[in-house]
Amino acid sequence: MNGVHDIGGMDGFGPIHREANEPVFHEDWESRVFTMFVTGAGLPPVTGYDGARHRLERLDPVKYLSSSYYERFLAGMESALIETGTVRLDEIEARIRQLAAKPDLPMPRREDPAVAANISALFRAGNPASRKIRQKPRFAAGDKVLTRNLNPHGHTRLPRYARGKSGVIVAHHGAHVFPDSNAHGLGENPQHLYTVRIAMRELWGDSAEVNESVLIDLWESYLEKDKASTKSRAQKNTGARKKVAEKTLPRAAKVQARTASAKRSLAQQPPSPTLTSAGVAGRAKTGRTRAERGSAGGGRGSGRTTRRNR
Amino acid sequence: MSDHESDQGGHHPRPLSSAALRAKAIESLLVEKGLLASDAIDRVVEIYEKDVGPLNGAKVVARAWCDPGYKRRLLDHGTAAIAELGFGGLQGEHVVVVENTPKVHNVVCCTLCSCYPWPVLGLPPTWYKSLAYRSRIVREPRAVLRELGLELPESVEIRVWDSSAEIRYMVLPQQPAATANMTEAELASLVTRDSLIGVARVEAH
Amino acid sequence: MNSVHDIGGTDGFGPIHRETGDSVFHEPWESRVFGMSMLGAGLAPIPLDARRHQLERLSPVQYISSTYYERWLARIDAALVEAGTLTRDEIDKRMQMFAAQPDLPISRREDPLRAQGIGNILRAGRSAARKIRQQPRFAAGDKVVTRNLNPHGHTRLPRYARGRRGVIVAHHGAHVFPDSNAHGLGENPQHLYTVRIAMRELWGDSAEANENLLIDLWESYLERDKTAATSRALKNPSARKKVVAKTLPPAVVRSLARSRRGLGKTIRRSR
């Protein structure tokens, strides 16, 4: 969602204020809110942190920008509890009035020694987002990619400032839970995750500072191959490309692999207006991506091919 | 936040909001320092409350509906054609009129602030200046228009005009069928501000 | 500047509320703020571009939590204090006075000449059009790409429309250039164009169908769309010639045809 939270590149928020010896929590209530938020208190676990993040994004923009960090957590939690019917707004308001009238009213306590004992183990175990999936990664380190111009009204982790930009894959992290889906209770639908390097100049144009880049972690469906680069690389290097292809596979396998990989990549890709059967056939003719060459040669083959291309 | 005077006793007028107090404070200080004239302020307010308004634009539209030559001039050189009817001035120095047809629907906005053709429409309504309209009309105009009561099928092209420079846009709405025999004055009375912005059709009533 | 005012395409502002009734101003103070602003509010005159930029520089929270005229009021208030015309203390004290006595009238000063004159000034308007010597770089039908400009100062190229491909649909001559004029760097007029950009180009696959944005952009916001140019030139040299011939004076067309570069080549080939 293009919410005000998506703030990369925004002007007007002034200098960065730094507090000397900043305490972890400025007020007691912040520590209580943090704990409730992080342990998902009273909320169905289905959407996890992705859903919680999206809830924050959906706060009223004025509220979002004028709240402190933990005020936002509190507001987000409150909206979740009300939305799920766990607590009603009138209950919260009545309790607020009660506490305002009698600030020393003791907090009710409920003891659960088993949960308390388990907390530190829970925190140490964490909640890894990595998953195993059968699909092979479409990209590999060194690939030139273009971030897509996605503008979902729902949750996404592709910020506005980084859409439609060309960059380079610098790392592949295996597959991770996909937030755009998970935040809405539509399932984890893990996808391959990559770190992409984008030059500052690419993001901001001529007014960018020099010698800088952004490294950002993006899921596979956020990315497309950068056709503009590929073409120029192919145009410059058809001889080299042909040599590599000839080196890697026997002739018959090459022909077979070409058609098979074209079909596979068609199945993997999200629907795109630029993807036509003619385009796919064309790509299969002029050359395959590193991933396609690798996958045609078998799982281990991709690694060897990549190294050889360097 | 409103500032309440506490215990003055007797007659309590409605407490002034903080903005009202600040506006009053600034006006009175500037007048006292000779930097502003009260009657000049009155005159400006009067012009924009009474002299200019969407009735001007309605007259332009009615004339265009009745006079094909005028319509042609209006679409080719909006500012000059509008001036023929005696309208013009600030925030209307460069007017372009865009015509709605059965195939094309135009709607006007200003995402960056609130630009609007004052001489023919008056000052913009709050909703036009709202963050909600400014943010959404360029993103999903068909959905926004539906919310505002105008349903347009996908076969109708929607053109959203973002007034980013000093060109000011006004829509020439389609003349409703069953109004062919109306006089120009009667037609003008049908044309609403909303239809000149492009968020409504003109109805025959 | 990429501040919150640049709000095209931002989600979260909810449904559009429409007020009932036709009143131009909802509160009397709004009309006074409007009137004062139109009269210059006791400030040294600055161009409209600069006034717009002052509004953009309100703090983001203030900007989005204020009503329209609250922003105008905040701008005047800040500008008067910054200019030293009024002090913060003066304003606060006067506010307290009116809070204590809300019925107290504002003192008046009459200036009939000014009151009469302002009507004429408003009626005359203030055109942003200027004559410049440079020929326009683009013409109707040209495919362009909007540049990815991210100035910290004033600009009228919104974020949502940067780096997008579009088509020139009109040329308006040259207009005062806001990016420069807002900062007291001169009017520096540039050719101004209306550019059509498909909604899909702006928003990707989730755009609604059959929609276009039309937006007015200055020449320095635009580049030729190189990816489109080659295919168009190959497909339509005679159409291009017609567009060129319409927009440029005949003498210029002839001199371009004589030169061996760029447009000249295309025109020559189609002859």
Query: Is B139 within 8 Å of A61 when comparing Cβ atoms?
Result: no
Q: Decide: helix, strand or coil at residue C205.
A: helix
Q: Is the per-residue pLDDT at A235 higher than 60?
A: no
pLDDT of residue A102: 95
Catalytic residue among B17, B28, B38, B113: B113
B115 is catalytic: yes
At C20, the pLDDT band (50, 70, 90 cuts) reads confident
pLDDT digit string, tens, across residues A159-174: 999 999 999 999 999 9
pLDDT of residue B30: 97
Using the predicted structure, report yes or no on whether residue C34 has a pLDDT greater than 70.
yes
Predicted confidence at residue B152, as pLDDT, reads: 97
The whole-chain average pLDDT of chain C stands at 88
Chain B, nearest residue to A60 by Cα: B132
pLDDT for residue C252: 55
What are the structural domain ranges in chain C?
A: 28-124, 129-235
pLDDT in tens, C58-109: 999 999 999 999 999 999 999 999 999 999 999 999 999 999 998 899 989 9
The span from the first CA to the last CA of chain C, in angstroms, equals 47
Higher pLDDT, B196 or A125: B196
Cβ under 8 Å to C: B residues 138-197: 138-144, 147-148, 154-167
**Topology classification of domain B53-197:** Nitrile Hydratase; Chain A (3.90.330)
Which member of B42, B89, B94 has the closest CB to residue C122? B89
The pLDDT of residue A251? 53
On the question of pLDDT at A259 being above 80, the answer is no
CB within 8 Å of chain C, chain B residues 10-49: 13-45, 47-49
Q: What is the pLDDT of residue B11?
A: 56
Residues of B whose CB is below 8 A from C114: 37, 39-40
Q: Which residues of A246-283 are buried (b: 16+ CB within 10 A; e: fewer)?
A: eebbeeeeeeebbeebbebbeeeeeeeeeeeeeebeeb
Q: Which residue has the higher pLDDT, A257 or C121?
A: C121
Q: Above 50 in pLDDT, residue A133? A: yes
Exposure string of A107-130, with b = 16+ CB inside 10 Å and e = fewer, is eeeeeeeeeeeeeeeeeeeeeebe
The per-residue pLDDT for A301 is: 39
Q: What pLDDT score does A258 carry?
A: 53
Q: Hey, CA dihedral for A76, C63, C71, B163, is it positive or negative?
A: negative
Under a CB-based contact definition with an 8 Å cutoff, are residues C229 and C215 in contact? no
pLDDT at A287 over 70: no
Which pLDDT belongs to residue B146? 96
pLDDT digits (tens, 9 = 90+) for A23-78: 999 999 999 999 888 777 767 666 788 988 999 999 999 999 999 999 999 999 99
User: Is the pLDDT score of C25 beyond 90?
Assistant: yes
Residues facing residue A71 across a β-bridge? none
- State yes or no: pLDDT of C55 exceeds 70: yes
With an 8 Å Cβ cutoff, the interface of chain A facing chain B consists of 2, 61, 151
pLDDT value at C226 more than 80: yes
What would the pLDDT profile of A74-90 be if each residue is shown by its tens digit? 999 998 899 889 999 99
Chain-chain contact of C125 with B139 (C-beta, under 8 angstroms): no
* B109 is annotated as an active-site residue: no
Residues of A whose CB is below 8 A from B131: 61
Q: Which residues of C touch A60 (CB under 8 A)?
A: 12, 14
Rounded to an integer, the average pLDDT of C251-271 is 46
pLDDT tens, position by position, A263-286: 444 444 443 333 333 333 333 344
Q: What is the DSSP letter of B168?
A: E
CATH assignment of C129-235, given 3.10.290.10, 2.30.30.50, 2.60.40.1180, 2.60.40.60?
A: 2.30.30.50
Compute the nearest-CA separation of B130 from chain A (Å).
13
Res. C257 pLDDT band, cuts 50 70 90 = low
CB contact under 8 A, C216 and B165: yes
Q: Report the residue from A9, A164, A228 with minimal CB separation from C2.
A: A9
**Superfamily covering domain C28-124:** Nitrile hydratase, beta subunit (1.10.472.20)
Q: Do A151 and B131 touch (CB under 8 A)?
A: no
Which tokens sit at B172? 């020439």
Average confidence (pLDDT) over A111-131: 88
B189 is a catalytic site residue: no
* Whether C64 and A4 lie within 8 Å, measured CB to CB: yes
Q: Do A61 and B131 touch (CB under 8 A)?
A: yes
Cβ B16 vs Cβ C99: under 8 Å:
yes
pLDDT of residue B205: 79
What six digits make up the tokens of A275? 């993807």
Among A40, A28, A33, which residue's Cα sits nearest to residue A72?
A33
**pLDDT by 10-residue block (mean), chain B, 205 residues:** 42 79 97 96 95 96 98 98 97 97 97 96 95 96 96 96 97 96 97 97 93
Per-chain mean pLDDT for chain A: 80
Label residue A116 by pLDDT band (50, 70, 90).
Answer: confident
Q: In chain A, which residue's Cα lies nearest the Cα of C200?
A: A149
Q: Do B139 and A151 touch (CB under 8 A)?
A: yes
Taking the C-alpha atoms of residue B82 and residue B75, their distance in angstroms, rounded to an integer, is 10
Measure CB to CB from residue C111 to each of B39, B125, B134 and give the nearest one.
B39
- A160 closest CA partner among A220, A228, A226, A216: A216
Helices A48-57 + A69-83 axis angle, to 10 = 110
pLDDT of residue C253: 52
Strands (DSSP E) contained in chain C are 129-130, 143-146, 165-175, 190-198, 211-218, 222-224
Domains within chain A, CATH numbers bracketed:
28-125 (1.10.472.20), 129-134+142-225 (2.30.30.50), 226-310 (no CATH)
Closest CA to A210 of A219, A202, A218, A222: A202
pLDDT above 80: residue C193: yes
From the list A1, A163, A164, the residue facing C11 with the nearest CB is: A1
> Which of A113-127, B155-169, C167-181 shows the lowest per-residue confidence on average (mean pLDDT)?
A113-127
Within 8 A of B139 by CB-CB distance, chain A residues are 2, 151
- The reported pLDDT for the residue numbered A47 is 74
Is B66 a catalytic site residue? no
Residues in chain B within 8 Å Cβ distance of C70: 19
Whole-complex ipTM: 0.90
- β-bridge partners, A197: A168, A215
Which one, of B187, A191, A303, lies nearest residue B204 by Cα?
A: B187
Q: Looking at residue A121, what is its pLDDT?
A: 87
Q: Where are the domains of chain B?
A: 18-49, 53-197
**Cβ pair C217:B164 closer than 8 A:** yes
**Span A174-205, pLDDT tens digits:** 999 999 999 999 999 999 999 999 999 999 99
**Cα C28–Cα C30–Cα C33 angle in degrees, nearest 5:** 115
Higher pLDDT, B163 or A241: B163
> A59 vs chain B: nearest CA distance in angstroms?
15
Return the pLDDT at B16. 87
**Residue C195 at interface with chain B, using a CB cutoff of 8 Å:** no
Predicted pLDDT at A120: 85
Interface check for B72 against chain A (CB to CB < 8 A): the answer is: no
pLDDT at position C102, please? 87
Q: Chain B interface, mutation test: which of C33, C64, C80, C106, most B Cβ atoms within 10 Å?
A: C106
CA distance C172 to chain B (A): 9
